[in-house]
Amino acid sequence: MSLSVQFLSLLAMIGTGIVAGAFMDMIGTGTAQAGKKSIIRKRAAWLEVIGWVLVGCWTFYILYLVRDGAWRIYDPFAQISGMLLYVTIFYKPFRLFGRILLLVFVKPLWFIARLIVSIIRYIVRFIMKVIKVLFTPFVKLYRIVSRKLFKRRAK
């Protein structure tokens, strides 16, 4: 293996460490921002385990792309240094980028989804009220007729 391939694989492992740190920070922030009684908060440990498994699979995929899956002893150190790089340097830019994505994409989509659900709920309630108003005379008529036809017997 040439020196340039080793350097490229070292940079790839540092990059996977940075992305792994960002991904795990995203999972931690998401579970922390969830409500205290939400299902996300209750399953936080499972989400973290699934996150670490996904990070491991993704890392091996990158290793497979870079050097056909060959693992070297310096790969874990490179990943840990990538995670430390994320914590020291890339933490604030990633968080800023995440906030921008949240404000530009997620919140408007969430607003539109809630708006559509509330419009559908309003339409269904309106239709139910109209049906209720239309059936009110028939219900009253049925009650009057049923009282006369189906009298209870005295014991």
CB 16 within 8 A of CB 80: no
CA geometry: angle at 100 spanning 96 and 103, to 5°?
135
Q: Report the distance separating Cα 127 and Cα 124, nearest Å.
A: 5
User: Which amino acid does the sequence have at 56?
Assistant: G
pTM more than 0.75: no
* Residue 153: per-residue pLDDT: 64
Task: Kindly state the tokens that stand for 61.
Answer: 């995929």
Task: Kindly state the tokens that stand for 106.
Answer: 């997620």
* Residue 63: per-residue pLDDT: 84
pLDDT in tens, the chain (155 residues): 677 778 888 899 899 999 999 999 888 888 888 778 888 888 888 989 999 999 989 988 888 888 777 778 888 899 999 999 999 999 899 889 988 988 899 899 999 999 999 999 999 999 999 999 999 888 888 888 877 776 666 65
Of 55, 111, 49, give the one whose Cα is nearest residue 83.
55
